[in-house]
Amino acid sequence: MGTVTLDVVNHYINGQHFKGENDRFGYVYNPSTGQKIATVPYATAEEVDETVNLAKQAAKKWGKTSVGKRIQVLFKFRQLLVEHTEELARLIGKENGKTISDAKGEISRGIESVDLAIGAPHIIKGEHSVNVGGEINAYSMNQPLGVVTCIAPFNFPVMIPLAMSTMAVAVGNAMILKPSEKVPYSALFLSKLWEEAGLPNGVWNVVNGDKDTVDAIITHKDVKAISFVGSSKVAKIIYETGTKHHKRVAAYGGGKNHMVIMPDADIDKVVDSFVGAAYGSAGQRCMSISVAMPVGQKTAALFTEKLKSKVEALKAGAYDDESADFGALISEDAKQATLRAIDEAVKEGAHIVVDGRNPKVENKAGFYLDATLLDHVTPDMKMYKEEVFGPARIIVPVESLDESISLINDHQLGNGVTIFTNNGGDARKFTQEIEVGMTGVNVPVPIPVGYHNFGGWKDSRFGEGQMFGPDTARFFTKTKTVSERWFDREDTTNETNFDFPSS
């Protein structure tokens, strides 16, 4: 058998593709086949420093470019994303494992954040007050920060980088994107589109790397804001390190998202909603529903009975297999972590309703698991407390709406939650009392549209900053308030006043 030559992934710095001079690197896999497809270099602190310096120069010019010219680039970028959706979806599928139709869904949600960023001039326009004192007007302006960074996870190789970075660029910053080292190709594809759209060199940079690279970026003196999305464990570290270095930080973490099923809900609709929201993308979404919480024993029995056959029928498959419901997991490690979580839950007393541990898929080398469903899971079990980023889901019945609210509010993670009911009063009580950042009523995945803010509570987000929605524009700008006086021609007064200025 001949030797397979692996592709070498580049960094994209100041408009140049650059291989890096580091001997530290990782591998990129095709999760559907389990094969290595490339090596990805991990940038050194020196390479990061050079990138930040180049980005800083680019930011100075870009921040002063007229708003209209900046937005024209975004319009073109948006058009290119639409034109290249098919190609980009295949690339996502190849390096991430998700199905092409799922990848197209993520691209279209990513385009929503470009749409929002196109409206940036409206969001960041300042305020103006006339005649706040003798001959004085006051106004505010929202200025770009300079160099900012986004550190992205593997599970949305396009949507999250777009959501995190487009507004930052629109309001005049230069961006250093550190994509997940597991999915570097999609980020580089975005670089190509930005270049074609006419973005000046140095405004958008992609630096590949691992923890050491991230540390060099987030502690660099000229990086002013950090937008992070990933696991809660790392989000907390990024928040603590970033704020210690006086940066603005928005650090988004994981989720353990519940679906509460009231006795009056339409069970067939609930089952269909649960299956897609729980197992889509092989359960590798921060907004995946991972806990079904039926209220009352009767609801639990009916729900479990109807759900079982639907879960058994789910099919894992290659990203380009049109008959697959979901794809492979990102890595062998991710697959093993999911298997461990199932085994531990069983040891703790959980009962397997559907066992997906031996996937039916033909290609055994890919990182596949079929869908697993467990019941008899209790809130003290690890399986309930921790995020499982794979296709293993649990049923935790409760006796009342109050009990569901109290359990969910006690959970450390508060990303998303949804309730299925036909009772408006219960829905209102739930949405008012629940301590979760993104809440749904009769919707499977309560992910807000791009022009609303996005973000969890508790350990699902550290810091108040935003990476999605209108508040992102504020996160990536700083406000300056100007008091400006122009003397009337007739004004001939000349006096020195030692009192504190008053109107």
Q: Which residues have a catalytic role annotated? A: 286
Q: Indicate whether 303 belongs to the interface with ligand NAD (CB under 6 A).
A: no
- Residue 395 to residue 384: CA distance in whole angstroms: 9
Q: For residue 351, list its beta bridge partners.
A: 375
Contact assessment for residue 482 and residue 138, using Cβ atoms and an 8 Å cutoff? yes
Compute the distance between CA of residue 204 and CA of residue 199 in angstroms, rounded to an integer. Answer: 8
Verify binding: residue 186, ligand NAD, rule CB under 6 A: no
Q: Contact between 381 and ligand NAD (CB under 6 A)?
A: no
Stretch that binds ligand NAD, among 8-16, 252-260, 305-313, 489-497 (CB under 6 A): 252-260
- With binding defined as CB under 6 A, does residue 420 bind ligand NAD? no
Residue 255 binds ligand NAD, judged by CB under 6 A: yes
Sheet with 438-441: strands ordered across: 351-354, 372-375, 392-395, 289-294, 257-261, 416-420, 438-441
Q: Does 106 bind ligand NAD (CB under 6 A)?
A: no
Pairing mode of beta strands 204-206, 461-462: unpaired
Of 387, 426, 459, 471, the one binding ligand NAD by CB under 6 A: 387
- Which residue's C-beta sits nearest to ligand NAD? 230
> Does 473 interact with ligand NAD (rule: CB under 6 A)?
no
Interface with ligand NAD includes 32 (CB under 6 A)? no
DSSP labels for 31-42?
Answer: TTTTEEEEEEE-
Task: Tell me which residue of 321, 414, 330, 407 sits closest to 361, measured CA to CA.
Answer: 321
Q: Is 41 in the site for ligand NAD (CB under 6 A)?
A: no
CA distances from 380 to 296, 376, 386 (A): 20, 11, 11
Tell me the closest approach of the beta carbon of residue 389 to ligand NAD, in angstroms: 5
Closest distance of CB 27 from ligand NAD, Å = 14
**Binding footprint of ligand NAD, residue count (CB under 6 A):** 28
Residue 205 engages ligand NAD in binding (rule: CB under 6 A): no
The least CB distance from residue 446 to ligand NAD, in Å, is: 12
Q: Which is nearer to ligand NAD, 179 or 294 (CB)?
A: 179
Residue 395 is a binding residue for ligand NAD (CB under 6 A): no
**Which strand ranges, in their side-by-side order, compose the sheet holding 16-18?**
16-18, 11-13, 204-206, 174-178, 147-151, 223-229, 248-252, 461-462
- The contact mask relative to ligand NAD for 338-377 (x = CB under 6 A, - = no) is ----------------------------------------
CB 256 within 8 Å of CB 221: no
Number of H helices, E strands in the chain: 16, 23
Paired residues of 420 in beta bridges: 261
Tokens of 424: 């408006």
Beta carbon nearer to ligand NAD, 266 or 464: 464
The CA–CA distances, whole Å, from 245 to 215, 283, 441 equal 11, 35, 40
- Minimum gap (Å) between residue 372 Cβ and ligand NAD: 18
Binding test (CB under 6 A) with ligand NAD, winner from 93, 146, 242, 254: 254
For 376, other C-beta atoms within 10 Å of its C-beta total 17
Nearer residue to ligand NAD within complex by CB, 88 or 388: 388
E strand or H helix at 251: strand 248-252
Distance CA 228, CA 264 (A): 40
CB of 403 to ligand NAD, least distance (A): 26
Verify binding: residue 252, ligand NAD, rule CB under 6 A.
Answer: yes
Indicate whether 181 belongs to the interface with ligand NAD (CB under 6 A).
yes
Task: Tell me: does residue 217 bind ligand NAD (CB under 6 A).
Answer: no
CB-nearer residue toward ligand NAD: 85 or 231: 231
Nearest residue (CB) to ligand NAD, 102 versus 375 = 102
Please identify, among the stretches 191-199, 206-214, 418-426, 483-491, the one whose residues bind ligand NAD according to the rule CB under 6 A: 206-214
Candidates 200, 201, 217; CA nearest to 209 is 217
Q: How far is the CB of 479 from ligand NAD (least distance, A)?
A: 26
**Integer CA distances (angstroms), 365 to 29, 32, 317, 328, in order:** 12, 8, 12, 10
Q: In 255-296, which ranges are E strands?
A: 257-261, 289-294
Q: Is 206 in the site for ligand NAD (CB under 6 A)?
A: no
Site for ligand NAD in 122-161 (CB under 6 A): 151-156, 160
x-or-dash pattern for ligand NAD, window 263-292, by CB under 6 A? -----------------------x------
Report helix angle 159-170 to 67-83, nearest 10: 160
Options 70, 78, 98, 178; binder of ligand NAD; rule CB under 6 A: 178
Angle between the N-to-C axes of helices 85-96 and 67-83, in degrees from 0 to 180, rounded to the nearest 10:
70
Task: State the nearest-atom distance from the C-beta of 452 to ligand NAD, in Å.
Answer: 14
Tokens found for residue 481? 């308030």
Rounded Cα–Cα distance for residues 14 and 191 (Å): 10
- Contact call for residue 210 and ligand NAD (CB under 6 A): yes
Q: Which of 180, 186, 304, 372 binds ligand NAD (CB under 6 A)?
A: 180
Binding residues (CB under 6 A) for ligand NAD: these are 151-156, 160, 178, 180-181, 210-211, 214, 229-231, 234, 237, 252-255, 286, 387, 389, 415, 456, 460
